[in-house]
Structure 1
Amino acid sequence: MMKNLLKTNFVIGVRSYVYPIYVLIGLAYGLMLMAFPEQYLPAMVPIFLLFEPGLVGFMFVGTEIFAEKKDGAIGALAVTPIEWRNYILAKTVIMSVLSVVGAVFIMGIGTRSLNGLSYIILGVLLCSIVYTLLGIAISAKYRDLDEYFVPILAVMVVSLLPFAHYHGYLTHSIWKALYIVPSYPALYFFKAPFEEISRGTLALSGIALLLWSAIAYHLAKIRFYKYAVEGLR
């Protein structure tokens, strides 16, 4: 069943141009980074890496769900003995793989180097899982991208704030609350190829993203079934 869902999701994503565009965005980000002087790359690459698996993925998975609602794909699956957790996991797996491909483009083209790629792949993989699941959880309630725009904007703003805090622009102690935002632990992985990040920090960041993944999966499972499945009946 999982194999069939992966195949079906992939075919639908390719036919709707969601997946090809997603990969092309990673390629475009890599080409854009080539325009920056080398000294700016340690600051710019992590931002582009967050946009690829996180914010763009958050938007695209919602767009894909909207399309599947409209063309009846979710409605058709609702009358089958499908385990909806497999549907959610299939989308998460595909988006995570595409995110890693995009991240390789960003690093390989944007920096002309693959040094520290293992940190990037791990960080992107975990970050993509979190934001894809959050995207499924939040978008399940909406019918189109117009309704989804405000949540996208809110997630984008909150997810970019850790970059400002990390670089010393938000100095008040209240901003320490940003450590709980999933983009913050991901940032340490994205910074690792450019500066010394301790293994302890990376380990804690990985644990934080795994915890976020568990929370996001729980939300996705509950909200998707409530709004996208039961809402069609």
Structure 2
Amino acid sequence: MMKNLLKTNLIVGTRSYVYPIYVLIGLAYGLMLMAFPERYLPTMVPLFLLFEPGLVGFMFVGTEIFAEKKDGAIGALAVTPIEWKSYILAKTAILSVLSIVGAVLIMAIGTRSLNGLPYVVVGVFLCSVVYTLLGIGISAKYYDLDDYLVPIMAVLVVSLLPFAHYHGYLQSGVWKVLYLVPSYPALYFFKAPFVDVSRDTLVLSAAALLVWSAIAYYIAKIRFYKYAVEGVR
């Protein structure tokens, strides 16, 4: 069942140009980074990596779900013996792999180097899992992109605040709450190719993202079944 879902999602996502566009965005980010002097790369590359795996995936998975609602695909699947956790995991797996492809393009083209790529791959994969699952859970309630824009903007703003805190802004004690935002632990992986990040910090960051993945999966499973499958408004 999982294999068929992966295959179907890949075919539909490719035919609708969603997945090719996702990869092209990574290519575009890499090309944009070439315009920056090398001294700015340690700041700009992590920012672009955050946009590619997390926030773009958050938006794209919502668009997929809207399309599948409108063409009746989710309704049709509801009368099959499908396990909805497999549906959710299939979408998350594909977008997470695509996010790695995008990240490799950003690193290879934007920095002309693959130094530190293992850190980036781990961070991108975990970050993508979290934001894709959150995207599935949150977008399940909506039926078009116009309604989904407010959650997108809210997630965008909140996810970028850790970036500002990491670079010395928002230094009041109250902003320590930003450590709870999933983009913060991901940021350590994205900075690792450029600055020294201790192994303990990376291990704790990975653990935090895994906890967030579990939370996001629970949210996705409950809300998707309630709003997308059962059709509660």
Q: Which amino acid aligns with 2:227?
A: Y
- Consecutive unaligned residues of structure 2, counting only runs of 5 or more, are none
> Deviation of residue 5 (structure 1)?
0.3
Match of 2:135 in 1: 135
Match of 2:46 in 1: 46
- Consecutive unaligned residues of structure 1, counting only runs of 5 or more, are none
Q: Which amino acid aligns with 2:28?
A: A
Match of 2:68 in 1: 68
Trace 1:5-84 onto structure 2 (pairs within 5 A).
5-84=5-84
> Deviation of residue 85 (structure 1)?
0.1
Cα distance in 2 between the residues matched to 1:70 and 1:20? 22
> Deviation of residue 123 (structure 1)?
0.1
The TM-score normalised by the length of structure 2 is: 0.99
Match of 1:107 in 2: 107
> Deviation of residue 16 (structure 1)?
1.0
Q: Which amino acid aligns with 1:164?
A: A
Match of 1:191 in 2: 191
2:178 paired with 1:173: no
Could you list the structure 1 runs, at least 4 aligned residues long, displaced by more than 6 angstroms after superposition: none
Deviations 1:186-225 (A, max 9, x none): 0000000000000000000000000000000000000000
> Deviation of residue 30 (structure 1)?
0.2
Deviations 1:45-94 (A, max 9, x none): 00000000000100000000000111111111011010000000000000
Cα distance in 2 between the residues matched to 1:68 and 1:74? 6
Cα distance in 1 between the residues matched to 2:195 and 2:41? 12
SS at match of 1:154: helix
Cα distance in 2 between the residues matched to 1:68 and 1:195? 43
Q: Which amino acid aligns with 1:76?
A: A
Match of 2:92 in 1: 92
> Deviation of residue 15 (structure 1)?
1.1
Cα distance in 2 between the residues matched to 1:6 and 1:109? 29
Sequence identity (%): 81
Cα distance in 1 between the residues matched to 2:60 and 2:174? 32
Cα distance in 2 between the residues matched to 1:15 and 1:8? 11
Q: Which amino acid aligns with 2:133?
A: L
Cα distance in 2 between the residues matched to 1:168 and 1:40? 16
Deviations 1:120-171 (A, max 9, x none): 0000000000000000000000000000000000000000000100000111
Cα distance in 2 between the residues matched to 1:116 and 1:107? 9
Q: Which amino acid aligns with 2:230?
A: E
Trace 1:208-223 onto structure 2 (pairs within 5 A).
208-223=208-223
2:92 paired with 1:121: no
Q: Which amino acid aligns with 2:85?
A: R
